[in-house]
Each structure stands twice: as C-alpha cells, then as structure tokens.
Structure 1
Amino acid sequence: MNTATAPDAAEKAERKKASKSKNTLKKTSKKTSKFATEPGAQKNSDDGLRVLLKLASHRDRIMLPVWMYALLATVGGTAYSLKKLYPAQADRDKLGASIGTNPSLRALYGPLYDTHTLGALTAWRTLGFGGLLVGIMVVLLITRHTRAEEESGRLELLGSGAVGRNAPLSAALSIAVGACFGIGLLAVVVMLVLGQGIAGALALGGCLFAVGVAFAGTQAIAVQLTETGRAANGIGALILGVAYLLRTVGDAAGNSGGAGWVAWLSPFGWIERVHPWAGNRWWVIGVTLAAGVVAAGIGYRVQNARDLGGGLLPQRPGPPSAGPGLRGVFGLGRRLQQPTLLGWMAGLFVFGIVMGSIAKGIDQLLNENQQAEKIIGRYGGVRGLTDSYLATAISFLGMAAAFYAVQAVLRLRGEETSGRAEPVLSGAAGRLAWAGSHLVFPAIGSALVMAAGGLGTGVGAGWVLGDFWGWVGRMVKAGLITTPALWVIAAAGVALFGLRPKWTSAAYGVFGLTVFIANLGPLVNAGQWLVDLTPFAHIPKVPGGAFHWAPLVWMTLVSVVLTGAGLVGFRRRDVSSD
C-alpha cells in the first residue's frame, strides 16, 4: 500500500460521506415539508396563506363578530327609529325639503334622494356613519395582521420558514374583505326582513362591502409607508378623515354647482351616490371596488420593493442623548403617549366644529316632529331644542373619546407583551411608577380630549348662533363634565390588565357594549334600566339640563376602585404573564 496517498483517500472518503448526508437531508426535507425548496430557489409569494388565514381567523374570533353585530344593529336600529320618527309621507316630505335647503344638515348626514321608502331613508342615515365604521374596522384589521406583526418580529420569524412574502398581506386582505362581505350580506337580510325591496337592499349591502374594499386597499399601501403599527393606523385614520371631510364639503355644496364635485373624490361620496332604493346605480359600486383593487395592487408592488421591517418613509433618528424630558419613566411614558393624545385632540376639535356649526339648522331637521324631539331629549337636555342637540353632540364626542381612553390604557399591555417593559422594570423604576406613567394619559388626557371637543363645538355653535365666547365656555364645561364616564370605561381596562391580563383586549368589548347601548338605546326606546347601565346615562345633560355633582363623584369613585384593583393585581403577578 502506498502510504503517501492515504490522506488523499481519506479526504475523498470524507467528501463522499458529506455528499451522501447532504442528499439524505434534502430527501428528508422534501418528505417532511411541502413548502421546502431547493437551495437558491424562490418561494411562492403566497406560500403558507391558508395557515395564516386560520391563525388570523382565530385571533379575530371575538373582535369580528362584535364589529359585525354593531354595524348590523346600527342599520336595523336606524331603520326602526326612522319608521317611528317619520311614519307619514308628509313628515318624510318635510324632511326631504329640509335636507335639500340646509347645507349644514347635508354636511352631517349627506343628501336625501328619495322620501317614499323606509329603505331610502335608512341608506341616507347609515351610509355615512356605517361606511366610516367599516373603514375603521378594515384599517385596524390590516395593520394588526401586517405591520404590527412585522414590528414585533414575528413576521420575520415566519418569513424565514414556510411563509411567502405576500402571504401576510394576502391573509389580512382576505379577512378584511371577507368581513365586509359578511356585513354587506347581513345588511341585505336585515332590510329584506323589514320588508324593503331586494334591489335596494342589494345596493345598500354592496355599498358597505365596496367602501370596505376601497379602504382595505388604501391601508395596504399605508402599512408599507412606516415602520410601526401605530403610525400605520395613524395614516389610515388620516385617510379616513380626509375622505370624510371631502364628502362633507361636497355634500354641503350640493349639486347646484360650486364645490359639489369634491364629494366624488371620496369613497364615502361614491357610496352615497349609488342611490339605494332611488335609482340603484350599480356602476358606482363597481368604481369603488375597482379603486380598492388597484390600491391593493400598489400595496403589493411596494411591499415587494422594500426591506422587511422597513418603510418608505424614513425613520427620523433621535438625538444621541436623552433630553430632560426623557429622563425617568414618566418622560418615557409621555414620549410614547403624547402623539396619540395630540391626534385625538385635533380630531375631536375639528369634529366638534362640524357638530356645533349645524346647531342653527337642527330645528329644520325635526320639523316640529314631537317624537324626534323626545328622542333628542333622552340623549341631551330638556330646556330647549338647541341645548338638547348640543348636549347630544357632546355625548357623541364622549363616546368617541372613550375609545382613546381604552387605547391609552391598553398601551400598558402592548409594552408588556412586546418585551419593552422588562428592561425598564429591571432598573430603578417600580411597577406602580411605570404603570402610572401611562395611566396619567387616560386620566388627564381624557379631560384634554373632551375639552378640545367641547371647544370645537363651542366655536361652531358660537359662529352660527352668536354669543361666541359664551358658547365656548358652556361647551368646554360640558366636555369636561363628560370625563368621569370615560374614566369608568378606562378603569375597567386597567382592572383587566392587572387581574386578567390575557383578557385585557376585552376592554374594547366593554367600550363597544357601552357605546352601543348609549347610542341605540334612546333610538329604539329601550328600557331606562338598560340605558342606565352605561356611564353616559348619568352625565348631567349640559347645556340644557340641571347640573348635579353626585353622579360625577360616584363615577370617579368607581373608576378609582377599579384602577386600584388593577394596580394591586399587576403588582402581584408576573410580568408578561397571562
């Protein structure tokens, strides 16, 4: 045997063994995973879509039914209330005349195209507000299953395995579009049960479905622009706000000329012009659907062109060292919560201006309809129709601001589950101090949001009614008086966070149920005991009603007890526990 060749022989044997092991591993991988690919091969962009759809459906198994029920209850409750408000054709004709001659009412509700059917009246009242709710739903859904997952790092983990690049966005769009289709279909069933024509019912359901598809497409682009889920939701909310403002401006101008064409720049304006039960213009639904499909296509193109975890809008680097405002746990909480607070204050201020500016025309809407005045009285005050309406407006602003209060509380759980709370708590910061740095915003921030909403309402009312500074002062006071109701809802979220952290997101369910009862209870003449279950029923109806301290004190005490229970629970349990 030639010993000089032994190392060469050993090397060849080793290479042969390695090659055999590699081939065995490759064969085993093909058998064990249907998604496995050859080295260097490209994964299918939608690999793993079915699995992600199952996961998303499981995560949304509670939230989606709540959204769908709330929207359907809005349609059914509105139809029921309109049937009682305007039982005779003469009443409906007066309503149509008022809408046609009052730009403020058109800005609030949109144009009324027909007064001869209950279906046309229902479409007039529900398409604007219902379309906005559908838009909010799809914005939250798509961000939840795309950018939020990417920000947390879970999407990168999934993408390294059997999931294609486009699968998460495809799953999110499928869930959102499927939910919109279900809402539209069930809306058709509700209107058919109420005895309305099938063509108009299909048009109404098609409008709700199409506007959801349109905003799902725009949100598919929005989640590509930024690096955080919170910013993506902010961009989506901005798109919704601009679209609603364009619809408002266009509807206020009317069809006689001027700026009426502006409504055609908004999906909300498009679905109004379908005219359910008053022409059924199907091609407008087609345009709305096409816009959503095109926008979603752009979202896919942008997603495939950017880096995972990155966004088209560059992230501005912070200063190399923290300033005085960021030193300490309260500075960190302010940095995290302040942008959301300022956004809500600005939004409610603008919406308050819109609500206050139509106070002068509210009497034309009611047309001396005693049933309508009675319902407004159940919402608001009792010393005058204008005061009652403005109290009702403040109540609606409070219901919107309650969402902010819950959102601010749930930021605690988000920081905990993301792992960002542990490094903070591992230092000198105590648990109660860290929690307090966030809870100060649903406490004081709720008051600031309601003050901004009251200020906007006062500005709008003072502009059209005169006595500008008088109305500003009265409406700011009315807004601040509503704050204890927000504290109760937020405190329920704190209690869940501390005692049952796994169910912290159920705070949104508490908010939804409370607002649902407060909003639809007076419309459907629900029992007073049911309306009294909501904290909004115990707020003094200012302006117009008598002011009492007792309900405000009791609601404050309830919120303190719930918050205290939550903080005690958080102090005793493990961080990031379920």
Structure 2
Amino acid sequence: MSAAFVGTGRLVRLAVRRDRVQLPVWLAAITIVYAISVSSLKGLYPAQEDLHLIAVSSAVSPVVLATNGLVSGDSLGAVVAAQTLLFLALAAGLMSTMAVVRHTRQNEETGRAELVGANVVGRRALLTAALIVVAAANVALALLLTVVSLGFGLPLSGSLALGAATGAAGVAFAAVAAVTAQVAEGARAANGLAGAALGVAFLLRAVGDSAGTVDPGGVSVTSMWLSWLSPIGWAQQIRPYDVDAWWILLLFAAFTAATTWTAYVLTGRRDHGAGLVQPRPGPDRAATWLPTAAGFAWRVQRTTLMWWALGIAVLAATYGSVANEMDNFLDEEGAVADMMKQLGGGADAITDAYFAMIFLMMALFASGYAVQAVLRMHGEETSGRVEPVLSTALGRVPWMLAHIAVVTVGVIVLQVVTGVALAVSYGMTIGDITGPLGNLLPVALAFVPAVLLVGAMAVLCVGVAPRRASSVAWGVFAVWLIIGQLGALLDLPQAVLDLSPFVHVPALPAADMRPLPLLVLLLVAVATATAGVSAMRRRDLVVQ
C-alpha cells in the first residue's frame, strides 16, 4: 500500500463506529419512505388502465416532469420509478455529501484529524476511509431498495436497476463532496457547495426533462440534452422497469473516478485545516450588534436561513404556478384526486385540497430548517467554540435563548416566504398577482406553532441528551414527517396521528380556522423549549 493510504483500514472502522447511528437512520428512513410510496401507488392504481392514465397524464405535463421525474412506461414498476427515483437520488446524494464532509472537513475543524494525523496515517487515508464508508452505505441502500421492490412483486431486473441507480447517484455526490471538502474553508461551506451542486444537478434534470418530447406511445419521454449533464438525470435515464439501461452506470463510474482523482490531487495541494479558497477578510471593526448574544447568534445562523429561504421560495413558486392547472390535470373522481382531497383535509375543491397539501409539505421543510438551526447551536457546543464565549459575562441561558429567538424569527420568515411565493406565483397564473395573498399568507402562518414545536423538541434533545441530540432530533422529525404527510393515506389510528403536531393544524384553506389548537401547540412548544434550556443549564458542556 502506498504511504499516502497507510491507516485507511483503521480509519474505516473508526468512521463506522462514529456513524453507527446516523447512517442506519438515513438508510432506514429512505427505505421506509420508499416502501410507503410503493404501497400507496399500488393501492392508488390497481388496474392497468389507471397506470396507463397516470403515465400519459404525467408525460404531457412539463411541471410533473420537472417536480416528479422522468416518465418511462406504464407498468407498476415504471410508475413507481417515475414517482420515487428523483426523491431517492436526492436523498442518497444528501446522505453521502453530509457523511463525507463529516469525516473529512469537520474532523479537521474539530481537531480530530490532527490527533489522528499524529499517528502513522497517510495523507489520503482520511478521505479514502470516508469514501469507502459512504460507498458501502450506498451499496446497502441499493440492496435494501431492491429487497423492498421485490417484496411488492416488482420484476427483479427493474428492482436491481432502481437500486443501482440510487446507489450510483449517492456515490457520485460523495465524490463531489470530497472535492468541496478540499476547496472550502469549513464544514458548513463544504456542505453548502455540495448542496449547491446537488441543486444544480436537480435543475439541469428538471429543465431537460420538462423540455423533452413525448414518444409516439404517449407513456415515455425523451429528455433534452441538459438532463445528460446531471448525475440525477443519469439515474433516471437508466429507466428502471422499462429499458434498464445498465450501460449508464459507466457514466457514473467515469464521473466518480475523475472527481475522486481531483479530490486526491487537491488534498496534496492545501495545508491541513485550510481550504484552497481562502475566506475573504472581514471589516476592520465589528458591527455594533455583533458583541451581543443575539447579534452573535444571528451571525452564526444567517447563512443557513438564507439558503433555506432561497430553496423554499423557488419550490413554493413552482408549486404555486401549477395550482390553477390541477382541475384540468386531475380527474375530479380519479384516484389521485381522492388522495389529494384526503391529504388536504377532505376538501371538495381540488385546488383547495392541493393548497392544503402543499402548505403542509412546505411546513415540513421549514421544520427541517428548525432542527438544523437548533443543532447548529449544539455544534457550537460540541466543537468547543462556545466555551470561550461562556467564559465571559454571557451565561448559558442568554446564549441559548438568543439562538432560539433567531430560529423562531427564521421559522416565521420561511413561512412568510412560503405564503408570498405561493400566492404571487398562483396570482400570476390567474391574472391577479396580489389577490390570493390575503387568503394564502395566513394559511402559511398558521403552521408556525407546529414548526416551532419541532424546533423546541430539538432544543429538548440538546439539553437532555447532548451526545445523541442530532440522531434523536432528526429521528423524531422523521416520525412526525411520515405521520403528517402519509398518516391519512395509511389509515393510522387517531391516537398515532395525534402524535404529530401537524395533524392539529387546520387543513386551510379547505377547512375552517380554529385558533385553539394553534394556541395549545404554541404553549407546548414554549414548555418544551423551556425544559430544554433548563436541562442545558444544569449539565456539563459536551465536547465531542
């Protein structure tokens, strides 16, 4: 073995031990969501006529192609691939980028890499170990998806192709993260660059698929060339359960090899702990608000909020722009329309049910921000950066309350962005830009108490279980997400549905406004956050 790779095996075992909870949670969550999706689709389209209708309808809709994925065939497996493969590729890519950055750049930030490097460890061993672990996780994900597909009676070849497409996309973005970890100065910047690459890949695929042409059969779409510039586009071009184009895996192999080689080259051309792109110097004097608790919390949290707001604005505007087409796209008595009405609180009008469903989904995204932002505060503690801050006159409680206040404001901002983006984009399609704003903005704000309760639960995890805060907080969020998004379709008992805060929010605009449940959610959120702050005040700081 080359001296640059000495110690890789031991670092692999160390990475596996460190990720013994996080990666299994990722794998389980993705697999469960996929299984629920397949089960729902199998129930929604029991006959071949139903499958043919949804394939034909999706193939001629640029919006469906952009947001759901490439249509290729009208069998049950082909419909499953069209509805789920985009999500699977994005989830695998996100899992992979975060894991690679965690085991490379974050290790350098926290000083772990320096301690490891004091032993007999090669220059490229840390990066190699991270890539091996992430590649193994993607192989496991591919096998799990294949087993689930076979469990629902889907063909073997297509099931293998779907699993391979998902795993290949995850490995490709792991290689991308390996490069961003060398370029960026810190873990947050590296994750941001990798996330931006994931977003660009999604947009290239979305434009390429929506601008494609429908084949003569009417159930398959030939994408424009832009889709072939995206690893996510490659995953869909495999066309599981239809073409099963295995040769596209060669594109993934070539891309991953070239990107990984680039990361290795960059590893040898930068100093330990530094990125190739140096951060620009700050101003000579700090702003007057920066030395305050709230000002410092805002400085730490503002980049996270900015990216979430941008992503939510784009997504909400996309969904708002197609709301007026729902009546034409869906059969009023069809299975998809029934599903949408069920998720939308039982509304009679498809448009109202659509908005209720979209507002719930956007609130779940905002909840993801709340969890990430609270855990960003926890990251300040575990990295040791908060100790010098708390050695001053600033106490733990004011420091924590400042971060909670910033997260609260961030949640409100994201919900306002959601309401405005949806209302304006919908208004543009009906010729009244500002008209829907008065009706849709209050709907977005109605979800604020539920989102704040998700963030408050993360605060409680930080206070009570600091060493498992991330896993527990994301795990609770995942459970609430599944209950809130799919509980009605799965016919879960009411006692289980009541566990999710989103179930208690009125399904506006389909339902009537009920202030009492929102007030109760807000009070529970305050009590939960208070318990978290109290627990934090009584325990020792944790540095990992």
CA distance in 2, matches of 1:220, 1:473: 46
Offset at residue 525 of structure 1 (A) = 3.2
Kept after mapping to 1: 8 A contact 2:467/2:542: no
1:112 and 2:71 correspond: yes
Distance in 2 (alpha carbons) for counterparts of 1:220 and 1:346: 25
Name the SS of the counterpart of 1:325 in structure 2: coil
Aligned pairs for 1:142-291 within 5 A: 142-255=100-213, 260-291=224-255
Larger Rg: 1
- Residue by residue over 1:316-357, the C-alpha shift from the partner in whole angstroms, topping out at 9 and shown as x without a partner, is 112233121212222111111111111111110011111112
Alignment of 1:281-320 (within 5 A): 281-320=245-284
**Map of 1:346 onto structure 2:** 310
Partner of 1:98: 57
Task: Name whichever of 252-261 and 68-77 sits farther off.
Answer: 252-261
Describe the superposition over 1:188-213 as per-residue Cα deviations: whole angstroms up to 9, x where unpaired: 11111211111111111111111111
- Whether contact under 8 Å (1:203, 1:282) holds in the other structure is yes
1:134-149 equivalence runs, <5 A: 134-149=92-107
- Give deviations 1:444-496, integer Å, cap 9, x for gaps: 11111121122222232222233321223333222221111111111111112
2:84 counterpart of 1:84? no
In 1, distance between residues paired with 2:339 and 2:479?
A: 20
CA contact (8 A) 1:411 1:438 kept: no
The match for 1:573 among 518, 539, 543 is: 539
For 1:274, the aligned partner's letter is I
Structure 1 residues 495-540: Cα deviation after superposition (integer angstroms, max 9, x where no partner): 1222232222221111122112223323433333322211111112
CA deviation string 1:79-137 (max 9, x = no partner):
1111111112222222122112221121121232111x211111111111111111111
Contact 1:84 1:371 in 2 (8 A): no
Give the CA deviation at 1:365: 4.6
1:203-224 C-alpha deviation (Å, 9 max, x unpaired): 1111111111111111111111
Most deviating of 127-136 and 566-575: 566-575
The answer as to whether partners of 1:151 and 1:227 remain within 8 angstroms in 2 is no
Give the partner amino acid of 1:155.
A
* Partner in structure 1 of residue 218 of structure 2: none
SS at match of 1:315: coil
Residues 201, 364 of structure 1: alpha-carbon distance in 2 compared, 3 angstrom cutoff: farther
Deviations 1:268-295 (A, max 9, x none): 1111111111111111122123212221
Q: Secondary structure at the match of 1:419?
A: coil
Q: Distance in 2 between matches of 1:372 and 1:529?
A: 26
The CA deviation at 1:369 is 4.5
Aligned counterparts of 2:425 and 2:371: Cα–Cα separation in 1: 28
Q: Secondary structure at the match of 1:45?
A: helix
Counterpart check, 1:50 vs 2:9: yes
Per-residue deviation at 1:577? 7.1
Counterparts of 1:322-333 in structure 2 under 5 Å? 322-333=286-297
Distance 1:316 1:243 in 2: 28
**Contact 1:211–1:289, Cα closer than 8 Å, also in 2:** no
1:451-490 correspondence to structure 2 within 5 Å: 451-490=416-455
What letter corresponds to residue 156 of structure 2 in structure 1?
A: I
Is 1:213–1:293's contact at 8 Å kept on the other side of the alignment? no
Distance between the aligned counterparts of 2:248 and 2:489, measured in 1?
31
Q: State the one-letter code of the partner of 1:181.
A: V
Which sits farther off after the overlay, 347-356 or 72-81? 72-81
- Secondary structure at the aligned position of 1:378 is classed as helix
Does the CA contact (< 8 Å) of 1:102 and 1:361 recur in 2?
no
CA 1:219–1:248 in structure 2 vs 1: closer, same or farther (change >3 Å)?
Answer: same
Match of 1:446 in 2: 411
Query: TM-score normalised to the size of structure 1?
Result: 0.89
Q: Distance in 1 between matches of 2:371 and 2:23?
A: 18
- Residue 335 of structure 1 aligns with an amino acid whose one-letter code is R
**Is the contact between residue 331 and residue 337 of structure 2 (CA under 8 Å) also seen in structure 1?**
no
Is contact 1:383–1:545 with CA below 8 Å preserved after alignment? Answer: no
Q: Is the 8 A contact 2:294 2:406 kept in 1?
A: no
3-state SS of the aligned residue for 1:308?
A: coil
Q: CA deviation at 1:302?
A: 0.8
Residue 517 (structure 2) pairs with residue 551 (structure 1): yes
Q: Secondary structure at the match of 1:469?
A: coil
SS at 2:276 equivalent: coil
Give yes or no for contact 2:343–2:489 (8 Å, CA) kept in 1. no
Query: CA–CA distance in 2 between the matches of 1:78 and 1:167?
Result: 39
Deviations 1:227-246 (A, max 9, x none): 11011111111111111111
Out of 319, 335, 340, which is 1:355 matched to?
A: 319
Q: Aligned equivalents of 1:252 and 1:463: distance in 2?
A: 20
Question: How far apart are 1:418 and its partner, in Å?
Answer: 1.8
Identify which range, 172-181 or 381-390, moves more after superposition: 381-390
One-letter identity of the residue aligned with 1:106:
L
- What is the alpha-carbon distance in structure 2 between the residues aligned to residue 183 and residue 517 of structure 1? 23
On the 8 A contact 1:275/1:281 being kept in 2, the answer is yes
- How far residue 395 of structure 1 moved from its aligned partner, in angstroms, is 1.1
Determine helix, strand or coil for the equivalent of 1:317: coil
Aligned pairs for 1:389-404 within 5 A: 389-404=354-369
Which residue pairs with 2:490 in the alignment? 524
1:365-376 to 2 correspondences below 5 Å: 365-376=329-340
**Residues 1:386 and 2:351 are matched in the alignment:** yes
Deviates most, 84-93 or 472-481:
472-481
Please tell me whether the aligned partners of residues 146 and 168 of structure 1 are also in contact (alpha carbons under 8 angstroms).
yes
Identity of aligned residues (%): 38
The CA RMSD over aligned residues, in Å, is 2.0
- Residue in 2 aligned with 1:19? none
Preserved contact between residue 105 and residue 358 of structure 1 (Cα < 8 Å): no
Indicate if the aligned counterparts of 2:237 and 2:248 stay in contact, CA closer than 8 A.
yes
Counterpart amino acid of residue 299 in structure 1: A
Preserved CA contact (<8 Å) 1:222 1:236 = yes
| Aligned pairs, number | 536
2-side partners of 1:535 and 1:236: how far apart?
32
Task: Report the 3-state secondary structure (helix = DSSP H, G, I; strand = E; otherwise coil) of the residue aligned with 2:474.
Answer: helix
2:28 corresponds to which residue? 69
